[in-house]
Amino acid sequence: MKVDVSAKFISIPRCCACCGDTPSVELAAQASKKRGNTQYTKSWSFPYCSRCAAHVSGQSAAATILLMGLVVAFVLMFFVGWWSLVMVGLTIAVWVMQSNQAKSGCGSNCASSGAAVIYLGWHGTLHSFFFVSLDYAAKFMAANSGKLVNMTDAHYELLNGSRK
């Protein structure tokens, strides 16, 4: 669920953003944008339990493997032609194995094998997030209820449900 907050300071609920368990680490959700020749990056730290941090890192590694393997295969295409398809096949096989390993690390309450919070970006003090876990989205909205903008009926339903 996409949630927009207008504030300089945002309250972050102190439970795992993925499964709701007791957190032990924080992972950054970051966004970047470019203005002219300058690149700007902002990030917010969200709590994760160690189990969820491990499978989020594993899924991130899988995505990196896929990207790098496909880039190498593309470059190889100019030197070995269609044989570079072997590299594509190997890359996909390794990506599937790595991704499955990350998924196997998920518990029954995990919202995703990847990042549970995605920072979509900002404009001034308006910050946009995407939460995979509706439970965590509800807690985040409750913690920042006076700062929420662009609310829909779904947001109000989730927010009212979290106060019961």
pLDDT digits (tens, 9 = 90+) for 140-158: 999 999 999 999 999 999 9
Q: Measured at the alpha carbon of residue 96, what is the angle toward residues 93 and 102, in degrees to the nearest 5?
A: 145
* No. of helices (H) and no. of strands (E), the chain: 4, 6
Low-confidence residues of the chain: pLDDT under 50 = 163-164
Q: Which domain covers residue 42, as residue numbers?
A: 2-162
pLDDT, the chain, mean: 89
- 3-state SS, residue 129: strand
Q: What is the pLDDT of residue 162?
A: 56
Quickly tell me which residue has 């795992």 as its tokens: 16
Q: Write the secondary structure of 61-128 as one string of H (helix), E (strand) and C (coil).
A: HHHHHHHHHHHHHHHHHHHHHHHHHHHHHHHHHHHHHHHHHHHHCCCCCCCCCCCCEEEEEEECCEEE
Q: How far apart are CA 70 and CA 91, in angstroms?
A: 7
Q: What pLDDT does 25 receive?
A: 97
Query: Could you tell me the pTM of the whole model?
Result: 0.79
- Report pLDDT for 164: 42
Number of domains in the chain: 1
As a 3-state breakdown, the chain gives helix, strand, coil percent values, each rounded to 5, of 50, 25, 25
Hey, which residues does 39 pair with through a beta bridge? 34
Cα separation, 153 vs 164, whole angstroms? 17
